[in-house]
Amino acid sequence: MALISLDDLEGLDEDEQLGDDITDNPEPMGDEEHSDRLLAHWRAVASTHQVTVPTEMRGPIQEMTRNNQQREPVPFVPVSSQEKMGEVLWEERVYPAGKWACVRQAEELYEQSISKSFMKLMRFICKENSAGGHLGLTVPVVSTVATADEGKTLSKSVETAFYLPAAFQDAPPRPHDSDVRVVQRDAFAVVARPFSGTTNEQTVTRNIGLLWELVGGAASDGLRSDAYVVAVYENPGVPRRRNEIWFLRR
């Protein structure tokens, strides 16, 4: 499951144990205690970024946990890559045109914007759609953020989106929440660099800077510097979860 909405609380008691429960056990949680622990874990994680997880998220959290291993990768075509001593420094890819479910938020903190957006997307994915059931999740879930001050400051307005699974590309379900929009996006090219851990404003800004250093010179021609994409592949229970920074080609 690719949750970019809530960053993990590293000092939380039982965090690693709860992370194991969430990621390694896709079976339905039949007892109330386990359900309470899941909700409590998400709330503890969210509280570090001043985000509240409401009680009505209990159902979507359980549904996403049950379907944790049913993740469909977003299709792409690799173009080129730069490696050093066997490590991929960055990779250029082309993603196809397709339909994405998107939510835009503009909260005080970057982390608040992506948290609140993804909770809306979770409800759409799990049941609040015209199909009336779980749609399935694709990875990565992506957040597009504009920048100011020559890329040093992230905009408060962030759009979080996930690519609709292949089964729904031709006939996408309608969201119940008007804040969730299903849009057709054109094909686009990115230069991607992996990083692990949390995705907050500090880590995102730092990794944007690192990628600019790596693609300096001729390799940076045609790359946008006014907006970036943060792509996340795993849920908040994973302490060193996989992320990427994407630079967009004009």
| Domain harbouring 82, CATH code | 3.20.80.10
Place of tokens 């469909």: 72
More reliable by pLDDT, 9 or 106: 106
pLDDT tens-digit profile of 63-80? 777 776 678 999 999 999
Q: What pTM value is reported for the model? A: 0.81
Residue 113 included in any domain: yes
pLDDT of 55 > 60? The answer is yes
Judge whether 28 lies within some domain.
Answer: no
**Quick count: other Cβ atoms within 10 Å of Cβ 30?**
7
Evaluate if residue 27 carries a pLDDT over 60: no
Query: Whole domain around residue 195: which residue ranges?
Result: 71-249
- Return d(Cα 245, Cα 190) in angstroms, integer: 9
The half-sphere exposure of 84 on its side-chain side, counting CA atoms within 13 A, is: 4
Name which residue leads in pLDDT, 10 or 147. Answer: 147
- pLDDT surpasses 80 at 164: yes
Least confident of 12-26, 88-102, 131-145, 202-216: 12-26
**What is the CA 177 to chain-centroid distance, rounded?**
19
41 domain-assigned: no
E strands, 8-112, are: 71-73, 77-84, 87-95, 98-106
Is residue 59 situated within a structural domain? Answer: no
Number of domains in the chain: 1
More confident position, 169 or 151 = 169
Q: Which residue has better confidence, 56 or 100?
A: 100
- Give domain status of residue 36, yes or no: no
- How confident is the model over 187-220, as pLDDT tens digits? 999 999 999 988 888 899 999 999 999 998 766 8
Q: Which amino acid is at 188?
A: F
What does the DSSP 8-state code read for residue 129?
B
- Counting every residue, how long is the chain? 250
Nearest Cα to 219, choosing from 91, 49, 53, 95? 91
The reply to whether 203 falls in a domain is: yes
Nearest one of 236, 243, 245, 242 to 42, comparing CA atoms: 236
Q: Does residue 10 register a pLDDT over 50?
A: no
Lowest mean pLDDT across 68-72, 150-154, 182-186, 236-240: 236-240
Residue 1 maps to a domain: no
Q: β-strands 141-148, 137-139: how paired?
A: unpaired
How many CB atoms sit inside 10 A of residue 212's CB? 15
Is residue 192 in some structural domain? yes
